[in-house]
Amino acid sequence: MPMIAIDHLAVVAKTLAEGCEYVKDSLGVDIPFGGEHSHMGTHNCLAKLGNDEFLEVIAINPDGIPPNRARWFNLDNHGNKAPYLAHWIARTENLTQTYPLINAPVGAPIECTRGELTWQLTVPDDGSFAFDGTFPSIIEWPMRPYPGAAMANIDCQLMKLTLTHPKANELRESLSKVIQDTRLDILEGNQPSLSAAIQTPSGLRHL
């Protein structure tokens, strides 16, 4: 059975500066600039969270061209909210085989580019999140090693990812069909949220 693995975490912000300041306050580290997504009118900052995993700060690019569809990561609805850990993305080596096993409204795969990078990512037509962001978008990278391996090393390691949702049992069942990772902790709560425990140069801290 094709399985997915944690690929990266996404901090959503009104601006990259605000998002990076949130990461600096939370983890005590700086996140360098990544690049632009011309097809979505967004840009990001990126850094490693392990061997292949990474952290992304993403925001609408004020100099970008608005896309002819809803932006990903629900950015069109972010407004003036404070930056927060909004989503996680899981990778598969074969999205065509994995996609039929996904029991969540993750959206259809689209072709994406950033500079010389290309990938496929599931994105709902309205740009929303499945399970309010607690169920991952699914990505397939055609290249090896995965891009996270070559990103800036900020000496941080993802230790645990806690997913809180009112429909925790349904979320747990849906995830169990495609991923087994002891770092995932699924809790029931009134407000959907994500929390990441990350080992940093200054000790264990949280997003």
Confidence category of residue 24, pLDDT binned at 50, 70, 90 = very high
Average pLDDT value over all residues in the chain: 95
The percent of residues in the chain predicted with pLDDT above 90, rounded, is 89
Confidence category of residue 195, pLDDT binned at 50, 70, 90 = very high
pLDDT above 60 for 1: no
- DSSP annotation of 89 reads E
Residue spans of the domains in the chain: they are 5-153
Q: How far apart are CA 21 and CA 149, in angstroms?
A: 24
Looking only at the bridges linking them, the beta strands covering 84-91 and 137-140 are parallel
What are 135-187's pLDDT values in tens digits?
999 999 998 888 888 899 999 999 999 999 999 999 999 999 999 999 999 99
pLDDT of residue 115: 83
Nearest 5°: the CA angle 30, 48, 86 is: 80
CATH level 3 topology of 5-153:
2,3-Dihydroxybiphenyl 1,2-Dioxygenase; domain 1 (3.10.180)
Is there a contact between 94 and 178 (Cβ–Cβ < 8 Å)?
A: no
What are 30-73's pLDDT values in tens digits?
999 999 999 999 999 999 999 899 999 999 999 999 999 999 99
pLDDT of residue 43: 97
